[in-house]
Structure 1
């Protein structure tokens, strides 16, 4: 079984027509039929039932399809690595909690590139759960996410601590208070990142639903333009991390700290100790940790 056979199989499965598959692959109809026949002989199973209208996948073919697609994705990944290697460049992929890179600033990218011009930082903004899942499946070199960490599976370097905060229109009644508690939020309408984020689920479940407090969720989104528009219309308040508050300032939007026993979370650079880090990944980690020390010293 080889890449060509898998590609032909997937294309025939998706089109359910030999001629259409041949046109898609820019090969002859006879060539497609021959490749599929040889693959069936190798597997010892029929993949398609021929009919006047086309072909019908067998149950075996349906079972094989996701595995074939996965292998083709791996082939593509290997080709990408070969291309990057030919250019003598290394990529460090980081799955980061939304807005963390913006908080760290463009200067981090500029400074790191000046120090290591052959290394490319590839940063994906995502949820904390997705970042950890990507790290576990080796889709990235690091995750930047909030704690607590599963220390039986991962190791983390603390980057900075972020308090919980609530943003709202300056005319909102809660804006009169210097700081807020969960009791203050009882009965409020909120717009926030939502249940795709561990922090949101934890707070809603533990501090609102379990104690019997009530909130109305207007919508769940990480789109800052939507959040800010709704805040300016005074339709909702936003619960999030204070590290993101200064990133999108507006004179009519104010922020108040959420003062509770657990007032925030540490943000970590997380790695998978079971996976050997590349030289580029090690250089980035060391550079980032030193850069964060200098950032803290600058205030």
Structure 2
């Protein structure tokens, strides 16, 4: 049990809705649901009962919510007292919209761990992220890197490995690692992320006939659900 779980617990109780709680906390619905489920499993109790009208406290949850609220209030007061003499440092971070949900939970954990740092999140497209960094409008970007000759490659500190999103019924779904043959034999779904389609194709010379180039992230999820192809998750760079 941690402070973040308790904060989510009292917020859901107050809002009566996981979605409303997520909106008020500026996190994803999935992050709140996972935190509540993890807390219930850890304590081996049911804090909420889910209905078609929303979510409400069980008698057990109602018994503990007041105590949890007091703990959060005491924590916030202590946090405020300890940080009174600390200088708050603002850091502007540009995160493309299609990558934002991957980092929601990490951002909130960072805020809890480093209270003197205030991350200011700027939503953008991947095409804009590099420009923001070059023009010194942001301090850090989380964005895909098109190729090794791309903008600000010399400034990249960390780069993630490549991952694919795939329908569970696809023949490659259970493989721990894909090989070139798997990719060549399957249509690939590309998210153009703010780039003109023709220009995007120039950045990625390994595309082939039958691949998809999509500008709407929801369309990508639909294509994966229909098992139309593999979605190449953007390589993340910081």
Q: TM-score, normalised by structure 2?
A: 0.46
Q: TM-score, normalised by structure 1?
A: 0.38
Higher relative contact order, chain-length normalized (CA < 8 Å, sep 6+): 1
- Point out the structure with the larger strand share: 1
